[in-house]
């Protein structure tokens, strides 16, 4: 399957926490354990990160991703699309950003109801702006590969 958005091999700091649709109803978001790591690549539709913990492909994430020069919502929701082990026995996970317009299609209803509404401030317009920003700022990464 072809990606909808180009990914750029960029290392950016990201904080994230994992949960599933079962435990989020019982656990407050502030009580979840946060992990700091870096992206391996990033695009308008998602990112690839390396994490030192086991995660399930059924897990979701809340993440805080700061990109210099671009105004991102403080927190956004993602879902794990794939995972694989690397040579250091760490897990690389592909995370799809969930936009406001798609949350009811991609997330269980119980999950959406149990999350604060501001987690869905990342919308389709903002995702396209992010893709455009990354393309303009990091286009040379693609040109160097050609």
Of the candidates 33, 26, 25, the residue with the CA atom closest to the CA atom of residue 62: 33
pTM comes to 0.87
Q: What is the pLDDT of residues 91-118, one digit of tens each?
A: 899 999 999 998 888 888 878 887 888 8
**Structural domains of the chain sorted by starting position, each given as residue range(s) with its CATH number in brackets:** 7-145 (2.40.10.220)
Model confidence over 38-48: pLDDT tens digits? 999 999 999 99
Contact 32, 57 (CB under 8 A): no
């Amino acid at each position: 399957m072809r990606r909808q958005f180009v990914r750029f091999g960029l290392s950016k700091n990201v904080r994230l926490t994992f949960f599933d649709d079962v435990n989020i109803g019982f656990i407050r978001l502030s009580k979840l354990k946060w992990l700091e790591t870096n992206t391996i690549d990033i695009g308008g539709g998602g990112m690839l990160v390396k994490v030192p913990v086991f995660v399930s492909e059924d897990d979701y994430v809340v993440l805080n991703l700061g990109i210099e020069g671009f105004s991102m919502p403080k927190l956004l929701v993602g879902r794990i699309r794939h995972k694989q082990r690397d040579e250091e026995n760490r897990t690389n996970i592909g995370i799809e950003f969930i936009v406001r317009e798609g949350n009811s299609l991609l997330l269980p209803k119980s999950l959406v109801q149990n999350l604060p509404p501001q987690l869905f401030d990342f919308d389709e317009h903002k995702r396209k702006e992010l893709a455009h920003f990354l393309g303009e700022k990091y286009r040379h990464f693609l040109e160097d590969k050609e």
